[in-house]
Each structure stands twice: as structure tokens, then as C-alpha cells.
Amino acid sequence: MSHPLSVVGVSGSPTHPSRTTVLVDEVTRAYAEASGGVARTIRLAPLLPELGAGPFRSSLSPTVTEALEAVENADILVVGSPAYRATYTGLFKLFFDHVGQYALVDKPVILTATGGSDRHALLVEHQMRPLFGFFQSLTLPLGIYASESDFADYEIRSQDLRDRIDTAVARTLPLVRSDDTASRLAEPEFARPDAF
């Protein structure tokens, strides 16, 4: 790959400060550091009023359009949402409703989430992974879930969580590298099935 990897994080929390943003930011920077890439975290909270402008991409503001394009052009995507009613937030879904149907095909995606307790940890597997299955993304096998007790004053205070982040990066980065996904995405003849 000739350019440094672009590692883009997306935090679907409507609040600020946000544990989810802290987690997404940490994981995004960890992947960028390990891959020699460039990290950027996009907070969806400030985009909320503009995301509701209409169902079509043409109704959206330049700010939202730029965020969508950054996600679509990322080499590695780190996505995160707080658990709201046992799934990702409406804000998270609203943003990804506007992402191009085939823009994330084969893109490596790291799934992360936070919640009030560990009770809904499987939202990563049961809600987030199917969403990115629709996009035909390459969701990496290790998701990262954190509960409120892993944070204090909106900072990660749990060594266990830090270890899980390190493990996820160490075990999944070789998959990203060996796949050379970014190069394949650039191929114009890359097959795009038409059906939903």
C-alpha cells in the first residue's frame, strides 16, 4: 500500500462526554499506531440534527456528507455505540442508513460497544455484526464491549479492557494486512451485486 492506512472511528453516542467515544478513540488510535496509519474519530452527536434532514443523500449538509465520505473511504473502520434498549442507538443506525450500500464491501470493521453493565454485551454479535453483514464488510472476529465500570471520569480505568483492546489489535491486524483490502476496493471491476 502506497499511502498510510486511514483508520476512521465512528462513535454513535448522542452524549458528550461519552464513554463510547473514549473507547472508539482508543481503539482507532491503537490500530493506527500498530499499522503506521492515520487516526480520525467522527462523533455523530453533533450531526444528529442534520442527519434527520431527509432520507436521501442529496438532502444532507456538506458536514454530514464529508463524514460519510470519510467512512466510505477509510481503510479500516472502528465503529462503536452505547447500548440503548439492548441494541445500537438510533443515531448510529441513522448515520449508517446514509452510507452507500456497497461502499463498505470487504472493508475491515472493528465492532465496539459500551453499556451500563455486561448484560447486553452480545449486542456486538447479535445487532452490530448483522448490520455490517448487510454491507458485506469484513467484520473482524474480536469485538470489544465495555461497561460503565470500565471507566472513571470518562477515562478507561480497567486494565482488563486495555488488555482486550491490545489482544484485538494484535490478533486482527494481520488479517487486515494480509487481505490488502484497500487495494482490492480500488479495483474498478470489483463485483457489485445488485440485489439487496
Ligand X SMILES: Cc1cc2nc3c(=O)[nH]c(=O)nc-3n(C[C@H](O)[C@H](O)[C@H](O)COP(=O)(O)O)c2cc1C
Residues making contact with ligand X (CB under 6 A): 13, 15, 18-20, 82-86, 114-117, 119-120, 148
The nearer residue to ligand X, 100 or 116, going by C-beta atoms, is 116
What minimum distance in Å lies between the beta carbon of 13 and ligand X?
A: 3
Give the long-range contacts of residues 61-68, CB within 8 A, separation 24 or more. 64/98, 67/42, 67/95, 68/95, 68/98, 68/99, 68/100
Among candidate residues 164, 170, 127, the one with its CA nearest the CA of residue 146? 164
* Overall size of the chain counted in residues: 196
What minimum distance in Å lies between the beta carbon of 190 and ligand X?
A: 35
What minimum distance in Å lies between the beta carbon of 160 and ligand X?
A: 16
What minimum distance in Å lies between the beta carbon of 158 and ligand X?
A: 13
Q: Per DSSP, which regions of 36-154 are E strands? A: 38-43, 76-82, 108-115, 138-139, 144-147, 151-152
The nearer residue to ligand X, 12 or 37, going by C-beta atoms, is 12
What minimum distance in Å lies between the beta carbon of 191 and ligand X?
A: 37
C-alpha cell at 109: 470493521
| Nearest-angstrom CA–CA distance, 172 and 156 | 22
The nearer residue to ligand X, 9 or 115, going by C-beta atoms, is 115
What minimum distance in Å lies between the beta carbon of 193 and ligand X?
A: 34
Element (H, E) at 90: helix 90-97
The nearer residue to ligand X, 84 or 102, going by C-beta atoms, is 84
The nearer residue to ligand X, 114 or 181, going by C-beta atoms, is 114
156 phi/psi in degrees, rounded to 5: -70, 125
Per the CB < 8 A criterion, the answer to whether 23 and 112 are in contact is yes
The nearer residue to ligand X, 153 or 187, going by C-beta atoms, is 153
